Structure 1
């Protein structure tokens, strides 16, 4: 009987597994690779023996990889939610010429074991509870905000959340279908997408171009009342900071994380 079959048997559901501790067991095994867009993949992991993942949605792990004879450490925010503790996932965009992202896309497959440490980080809505949230993400910066959204959805926490995501084209919107499911299933969870151009989708009716303050205010009229979490490339976050400062937003209620914490 295979490891996967063992995981599906009665013992998996009758037992109470312990918590994964990377100080004691730093090995994770890839169980599945899922294509999210043309250049983005999600990698799902389990522990070699049944352990549960516990972390705050929005945190990151550090991967230790052997690439071309060199040990390289890279940090990636988790896209999975701690409400689904049997697996952990990261979602990675392939970066042209990127040593790590290309290695992950080309080599990390089901059955491959890697080393990982964590979880770490303070970027989490659980540390800043509020009645209203605004999630702002650009590109692969969607991952920690997706972890937070999945946690809210699974827990039935129908908080007032507006999730605004910026992408190159509609085809590049990561988790687009799942976000639509969340918006359908939660009364106060709303999404908005802003694409630089429409690409091949000629029927696109949502905003085009880049996120601007007038556009943001039109999407979120009660902007000043929200706790804001932002993740994306540095240029994207710099633009958001400038917009919020111009709007007189209380920056003590603004929190940010660099997309994937890794640029390659």
Structure 2
């Protein structure tokens, strides 16, 4: 059984989604797979190394939408590769991991995010990642290699075991061609027969030893929330100014809760759906929509990707977003349902 064709009458009103087809599937580790897609219309993808996209697919009649950073480089625009780790509580990632393969249809949105090299003039960089946080950094280093650029990069990947290391062989090959690329791997656990690695997490002492010139570098940091928080503290202590530490915001910081006063009641009307409901304390508009059966696309659930944007018709909301709306969209009354809570009675165009 594979994912289903996209129904023609369920196109997303929240943004542009392009029909795509899976062309390849690569099993990276036991719980990580890379899926490669091309656009169904034959056009090329356009994105910056380090950006993310939303992917939507249908399974058993239900729509699923998630956001993933792009692992492939923009220098190879005919295809786009998403390297996906199965989340412990993630049904969507399990479906993608187990059932998506060559020929499967999906939809992919426009790229977003500013965790990119962009036009930053960087002579010495530190790429620091854990788990699937390696994907935007792989897009960057692949793009640099394709462009014939060879900046001074120390690339540190943290993994649980040697079997969880991603793109190890490719990174070794890249380091042979890019003379200033130095690759280090730190595993928190190793097997008894692994003579080349010592077990242990990446702490301040080990990081200082691996990157003795850290203070002269620009850091790009991506991984689980706890890892990023700890590494940021270490990097600051090692002398890297905060302005030279760039972090992948997507998936890194949980949304804040509602500012509605305890006990306060608010009513939400989903106008197009004809649904009226009472808002509970701390419930976001997305929470209320899902509980009431109102259809709304969502991906990051933290105000980054913009997938769940909707127009606020009446009332006011508290919105703690992370850049998922443009200034023009704000001026036209759009909000992000995943990080907005009502301040009294409101009406939303859903």
User: Partner of 2:207 in structure 1?
Assistant: 216
- Secondary structure of the residue aligned to 1:187 is coil
Alpha-carbon spacing, 1:259–1:41, altered in 2? closer, same or farther (3 Å): farther
Conserved 8 A contact 1:231-1:256:
yes
Deviation at 1:177, TM superposition (A): 0.4
Q: CA-to-partner distance for each residue in 1:182-218, whole Å, 9 max, x for gaps?
A: 0111110010000011136x23423421111111111
User: Partner of 2:102 in structure 1?
Assistant: 110
Say if 2:131 is the partner of 1:152.
no
Of 176, 190, 210, 2:182 maps to: 190
Conserved 8 A contact 1:141-1:259:
no
| RMSD of aligned alpha carbons | 2.0
In structure 2, how many angstroms separate the alpha carbons of the residues matched to 1:151 and 1:237?
24
TM-score normalised per structure 2: 0.65
Mapping of 1:114-133 within 5 angstroms?
114-133=106-125
Say if 2:24 is the partner of 1:32.
yes
In structure 2, how many angstroms separate the alpha carbons of the residues matched to 1:62 and 1:25?
8
In structure 2, how many angstroms separate the alpha carbons of the residues matched to 1:136 and 1:24?
32
Conserved 8 A contact 1:143-1:260:
no
Of 167, 172, 176, 1:175 maps to: 167
Mapping of 1:1-264 within 5 angstroms?
26-199=18-191, 202-257=193-248
Deviation at 1:80, TM superposition (A): 0.2
In structure 2, how many angstroms separate the alpha carbons of the residues matched to 1:219 and 1:67?
45
In structure 2, how many angstroms separate the alpha carbons of the residues matched to 1:204 and 1:57?
35
**Rg (Cα) greater in structure:** 2
Deviation at 1:29, TM superposition (A): 0.5
User: Partner of 2:330 in structure 1?
Assistant: none
Conserved 8 A contact 1:77-1:144:
yes
User: Partner of 1:3 in structure 2?
Assistant: none
Deviation at 1:39, TM superposition (A): 1.1
Conserved 8 A contact 1:76-1:260:
no
Structure 1: gaps spanning 5 or more residues: 1-22
In structure 1, how many angstroms separate the alpha carbons of the residues matched to 2:53 and 2:220?
19
Alpha-carbon spacing, 1:190–1:54, altered in 2? closer, same or farther (3 Å): same
In structure 1, how many angstroms separate the alpha carbons of the residues matched to 2:17 and 2:62?
22
Structure 2: gaps spanning 5 or more residues: 1-14, 253-298, 302-350
Deviation at 1:67, TM superposition (A): 4.0
Instruction: Report runs of 4+ in structure 1 exceeding 6 Å deviation.
Output: 259-264
Q: CA-to-partner distance for each residue in 1:148-168, whole Å, 9 max, x for gaps?
A: 010011111011001000001
Conserved 8 A contact 1:231-1:259:
no
TM-score normalised per structure 1: 0.85
In structure 2, how many angstroms separate the alpha carbons of the residues matched to 1:204 and 1:47?
45
Q: CA-to-partner distance for each residue in 1:207-258, whole Å, 9 max, x for gaps?
A: 4211111111111111011111010000110110121233342011101115
- Larger relative contact order (CA 8 Å, sep ≥ 6): 1
In structure 1, how many angstroms separate the alpha carbons of the residues matched to 2:82 and 2:251?
9
Q: CA-to-partner distance for each residue in 1:167-190, whole Å, 9 max, x for gaps?
A: 011111000000000011111001
Conserved 8 A contact 1:140-1:259:
no
Conserved 8 A contact 1:232-1:258:
no
